Amino acid sequence: MANKVLYIHMIGAFGGASRSLFEIVRAFPATQVTPYFVTPKGNVSTFFKEIGGTIIEVPGLTQFDNTRYSYYRGIRWLVGLRELIFLPHTIGAMRRAKRDWGDVDLIHLNEFTGIIPMLIARRMFNVPVVVHVRSLARNDAGSWRTKWVNHILREKASAVIAIDENVRASLPQDLRVDVIHNAFTPAPAAAFDAVFDAKLKALRPGSVKVGFVGNLLKVKGLYDLIEAARLVKGSGIDVEFVVVGGNGRSLAGIRGRFLKALGLAHDVMADLEVLIKQYELRDTFHLFGFTADIQRFYPQLDILCFPSHYDAPGRPIFEAAFSGVPSIVAVRDPKPDTLIHGETGLAVPPQDPVALASAIMALASDRKRSINMGSAARAMAQKNFDVQTNAGLVLEVYRRCLDD
């Protein structure tokens, strides 16, 4: 009989964390897992339904953010008001899950910022918990928040999964952690996106295509990318930048206006459109919007950029690698399981548009080097990010938790 697994997912917009979970659960044999999802409202539910998931949607789930980049400090403490507002929805969602779904065998939290809903669910269901850590944890040993989060991971989680060695290094060294990489299925999506395909065909033949994939958030380094595009244009190298993704959060209503006024949220799409006009980049910087047909995009690229401020590699770099595309990644200390500087791509400092532009120009002007890097990146992706292998490793973690 398949095990009933309750997945707690923290973000309603389909992005890296949700795609990673989608890929893994889709790869599970139907006889092994029956998935149930609690998630904020958003297009992510469409994808979870595709893999047979039963879903409860709520306006939001309470988070406790102690990631290295966005931990609470200064004005960011105001974000805690949002988490308090979401607390009744969080409790209500878990009560509804218990009422509608009865008992489950296992809880899987899809990002460790969801510790509060995880604790509520654990108390209600009294089953083992797997915590997936996808972001670099803040490892300030003197912080009460870090101590509390680490205590929860040690005492309340039956297993902790880190998505790569960078994330693993941010967690306590005495904590048992399984490093299981994300996975990707490098095949065309079932639903062909003709509009997206037409945009791809409209790109200039012969130009070097530099791509970005992800939700449009300030933290993803998109303002750095457009500054780099301005510098690259001045070099005379024929480069086109293609951004695939939509705004990562809704900024409608009073809450959205309040967050924008405090500088805690940005309409990145609108900001980029203004900068494209201001920098005269209409012929070289393209905003394609969101598409589920992402597998068709990567083979059209020459270079993938991941200029995130998180100081960590993201899943687009190995997604692109399956198509033999090298990456330029904003990370100070890349680990060899995700990026080998000078071999599978280039590492640049985060929040440094000049360094980013220099790296783009270096690869754009040396196609042989870029192609060789892409071949090495493909070999790494096939070794570390195979979906069947990594889905099997996650199932092994589930079995270990259920057997304890």
Lowest mean pLDDT among 71-75, 145-149, 287-291, 349-353: 71-75
Note the pLDDT of residue 261: 52
| Confidence bin at 75 (pLDDT 50/70/90) | confident
Domain 194-384: CATH superfamily, name plus number = Glycogen Phosphorylase B; (3.40.50.2000)
Contact indicator for 126, 156 with CB cutoff of 8 Å: no
Greatest mean pLDDT among 243-252, 265-274, 310-319, 366-375:
366-375
Percent of the chain with pLDDT strictly greater than 90: 81
Could you list the beta-strand ranges (E) of 148-284.
Answer: 159-162, 178-179, 208-213, 239-244
Note the pLDDT of residue 15: 86
| Confidence bin at 382 (pLDDT 50/70/90) | very high
pLDDT digit string, tens, across residues 289-306:
988 888 889 999 999 999
Give start-end residues of each CATH 3.40.50.2000 domain in the chain: 3-183+386-403, 194-384
For the purposes of burial, counting CB atoms within 10 Å of the CB of 340, is it exposed (0-12), middle (13-18) or buried (19 or more)?
middle
**DSSP labels, 296-326:** GTGGG-SEEEE--TTSS--THHHHHHTTT--
Closest of 402, 403, 306, 325 to residue 364, by C-alpha = 325
| Confidence bin at 159 (pLDDT 50/70/90) | very high
For residues 175-197, average pLDDT:
84
Per DSSP, what are the bridge partners of residue 341? 345
| Confidence bin at 80 (pLDDT 50/70/90) | confident
| Confidence bin at 74 (pLDDT 50/70/90) | confident
| Confidence bin at 49 (pLDDT 50/70/90) | very high
Alpha-carbon gap, residue 217 to 204, rounded angstroms: 27
Note the pLDDT of residue 253: 57
Note the pLDDT of residue 389: 95
Note the pLDDT of residue 191: 64
For residues 94-98, average pLDDT:
97
Looking at the predicted structure, is the pLDDT value of residue 396 above 90?
A: yes
Note the pLDDT of residue 263: 56
Contact indicator for 314, 222 with CB cutoff of 8 Å: no
Note the pLDDT of residue 302: 97
Note the pLDDT of residue 342: 96
Under DSSP, the state recorded for 136 is: P
pLDDT digit string, tens, across residues 259-271:
555 555 678 999 9
For residues 7-24, average pLDDT:
93
pLDDT digit string, tens, across residues 118-142:
999 999 999 999 999 999 999 888 8
For all residues of the chain together, what is the average pLDDT?
92
Note the pLDDT of residue 246: 84
Residue positions counted in the chain: 404
Note the pLDDT of residue 294: 86
Alpha-carbon gap, residue 112 to 253, rounded angstroms: 28
Please check whether the domain covering 3-183+386-403 is classified as CATH 2.60.120.380.
Answer: no
pTM: 0.87
For residues 43-50, average pLDDT:
93
For residues 337-357, average pLDDT:
97
Note the pLDDT of residue 112: 97
Strand arrangement, sheet containing 285-289: 285-289, 239-244, 208-213, 303-306, 327-330, 345-348
Sole residue written with tokens 């929040």: 351
For residues 20-36, average pLDDT:
95
For the purposes of burial, counting CB atoms within 10 Å of the CB of 79, is it exposed (0-12), middle (13-18) or buried (19 or more)?
middle
